[in-house]
């Protein structure tokens, strides 16, 4: 098998004992699997939950805390314990771990977003094992991912991973709740995550983790749209990660619609940047953007909203109010507004290189993807 870049996400329930405390044995088994996949020549990034679960006993809480303040306190204690255990378990294989704590802000800022890519690329180049978690000790609601499932999906896109492995307490995706219906059947492969499948996804059976199967499917859908394959199952010592990457796993695979992966710059526009304004365009401009691969000129804009600047990301709607995609403004609002009342050539509003089609009814395979 050729060299692959894998992202493995480990949920809290996969790392802790029944009382919620960190299990050195479970963690050590994961580290043995990490060593095996790296020995096989593949690149690996780990997104590991467990800081709150590892820390709340140490801080004196009898059970997993529920308030933001208590969770942050437990995470502050638990994160160091988690990394200490990873370092202890990995040193016997000669593997050096690196800790990276992230929040939504790191993805929303274009410069920080690029720095994430460059930092991870350098760590992988040097043979280091990046171990990533959300910065639970300082993050506030509007800057959190909610759980590490979506964080792992977004990271998979950033580093152009070949596959994201979501390790959870259920061995795949079923057509019904397997804990309630013994006749429920497991999907081997999923090509499209639709509203029906999302609606039937149950919650997690664990009292330790935060992400249910619905959250995992949303994360899988995001990774799928960026061109990364996803695998969902429980961790088994008899099922090496390199075998999973070769599609020999017994869980569920979610396959990307396109073989090409979305360009990093366009991932940021599509999934991370906060729109600073919006445009409504006429049918001719929509046709040019969606089907002809052309840039958007002011002559095709019906209306503009928001005091945006050059470089800000804008939502673009058709004349019926349906979202077509997003793009970077080539000029600021005032400049475009003033020019719309004057004569002369029509100025550029969004260049084709900074446009992302999000309406899948119109999306062409070559749009948004790297060659």
Binding site residues for ATP, as ranges?
9, 168-169
Separation between Cα atoms, residue 155 and residue 141, nearest integer Å: 20
Which positions make up the binding site? 9, 49, 136, 148, 168-169
Task: Pick out the residues of the known binding site for substrate.
Answer: 49, 136, 148
CA distances from 213 to 32, 171, 201, 289 (A): 26, 11, 6, 36
* Closest CA relative to residue 248, chosen from 238, 261, 256, 258: 238
Beta strands 252-254 and 189-190 are parallel
State the angle between helix axes of 213-225 and 148-158 in degrees (0 to 180), rounded to the nearest 10. Answer: 10
Residue ranges with strand state E in the chain: 5-10, 43-48, 97-102, 129-134, 163-167, 189-190, 229-233, 252-254, 277-281, 296-297, 301-305, 313-317, 323-328, 348-350, 355-357
Cα separation, 98 vs 123, whole angstroms? 8
* End-to-end CA gap in the chain: 22
Q: CA–CA separation, 231 vs 30, rounded Å?
A: 16
- Hey, which residues does 280 pair with through a beta bridge? 303, 317
Is residue 201 within 8 A of residue 214, CB to CB? The reply is yes
Contact 327, 355 (CB under 8 A): yes
Close Cβ partners of 238 (under 8 Å, ≥ 6 residues apart):
none
What DSSP character marks residue 186?
Answer: B
CA distances from 347 to 140, 281, 315 (A): 41, 14, 18
242 vs 240: CA distance, rounded Å? 5
């Amino acid at each position: 098998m050729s060299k692959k870049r894998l992202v493995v996400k480990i949920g809290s329930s996969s790392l802790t004992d029944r009382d919620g405390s960190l299990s050195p044995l479970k963690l050590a088994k994961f580290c043995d699997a990490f060593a095996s996949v790296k020995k096989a020549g593949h690149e690996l990034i780990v997104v590991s939950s467990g800081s709150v679960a590892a820390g709340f006993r140490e801080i004196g809480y009898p059970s997993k805390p529920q308030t933001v303040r208590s969770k942050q306190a437990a995470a502050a204690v638990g994160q160091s314990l988690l990394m200490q255990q990873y370092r202890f378990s990995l040193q016997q294989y000669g593997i050096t771990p690196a800790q990276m704590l992230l929040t939504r802000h790191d993805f929303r800022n274009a410069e920080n977003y690029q720095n994430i890519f460059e930092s991870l690329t350098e760590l992988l180049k040097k043979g280091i094992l990046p171990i990533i978690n959300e910065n639970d000790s300082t993050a506030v609601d509007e800057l959190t991912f909610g759980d590490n499932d979506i964080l792992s999906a977004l990271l998979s896109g950033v580093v152009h991973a070949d596959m994201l492995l979501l390790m959870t307490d259920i061995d795949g995706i079923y057509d019904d709740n397997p804990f309630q219906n013994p006749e429920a059947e497991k999907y081997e492969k999923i090509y499209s995550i639709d509203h029906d499948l999302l609606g039937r996804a149950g919650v997690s059976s664990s009292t330790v983790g935060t992400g249910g199967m619905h959250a995992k499917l949303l994360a899988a859908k995001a990774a799928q749209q960026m061109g990364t394959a996803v695998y969902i199952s429980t961790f088994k010592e008899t099922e090496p990660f390199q075998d999973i990457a070769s599609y020999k796993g017994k869980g569920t695979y979610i396959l990307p619609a396109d073989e090409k992966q979305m360009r990093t710059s366009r991932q940021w526009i599509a999934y991370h940047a906060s729109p600073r304004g919006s445009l409504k365009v006429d049918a001719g401009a929509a046709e040019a953007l969606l089907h002809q691969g052309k840039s958007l000129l002011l002559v095709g804009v019906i209306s503009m909203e928001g005091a945006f600047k050059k470089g800000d990301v804008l939502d673009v709607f058709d004349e019926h109010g349906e979202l077509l995609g997003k793009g970077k403004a080539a000029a600021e609002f005032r400049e475009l507004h003033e020019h719309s009342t004057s004569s002369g050539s029509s100025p550029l509003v969004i260049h084709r290189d900074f446009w992302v089609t999000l309406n899948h009814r119109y999306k062409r395979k070559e749009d948004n993807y790297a060659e």
